[in-house]
Amino acid sequence: MAHLSESAVKQIGEIISRYENEKTPLMMILSDIQREYGYIPLDVQEFISDKTGIPVAEIYGVVTFYSFFSLTPKGKYVIGVCLGTACYVKGSQQVIDKFAELLHIQPGQTTEDGLFTLDALRCIGACGIAPALTINGKVYPKVSVADVQKIVEEYKSLGGAN
């Protein structure tokens, strides 16, 4: 906790206070922090524990249970490739493999320059446009292996990490 900046303490404190009257506020708090900061490290979990009385181990358990939460910073662009049944039979495994090859990372990892995170997603409910992927929420329909290079280049040209 000692490692959190003053502004982080203030902002996270504000997020926690939003859910003061909730019986089970943890998921909401974690979701807001994940959205705001892109990750939820142990110091932040300790801070949440102090404020809410929920044991750190329990918070850690929730953070590591749901793939939406992350312990390490995510890249500027989060590429989520759907590996749900429909996308899978339409070849999304080859698509994610191509991303992994071009970015030199495995699914779940972030590139060293902090630009890209590659995530494997289960069904995102876009089976009609399989294989599908999302980048920071933008949906790419019917992606083929041949499209991957172009997509990567497009985001690289948009600029580096903050």
Residue 108 touches another protein, criterion: CB under 8 A: no
- The Cβ of residue 156 has, within 10 Å, a number of other Cβ atoms equal to 13
Rounded to a whole number of angstroms, the minimum distance from the CB of residue 40 to another protein is 12
The HSE-up count of residue 79 (CA atoms within 13 Å, CB side) is 29
Query: Looking at 4, 27, 43, 74, which residue binds another protein (CB under 8 A)?
Result: 43
Query: Looking at 8, 27, 42, 139, which residue binds another protein (CB under 8 A)?
Result: 42
Query: Looking at 27, 56, 105, 139, which residue binds another protein (CB under 8 A)?
Result: 56
Q: Say which residue the tokens 């985001």 belong to.
A: 155
DSSP assigned state of 73: P
Contact indicator for 79, 126 with CB cutoff of 8 Å = no
Query: Looking at 7, 57, 137, 157, which residue binds another protein (CB under 8 A)?
Result: 57
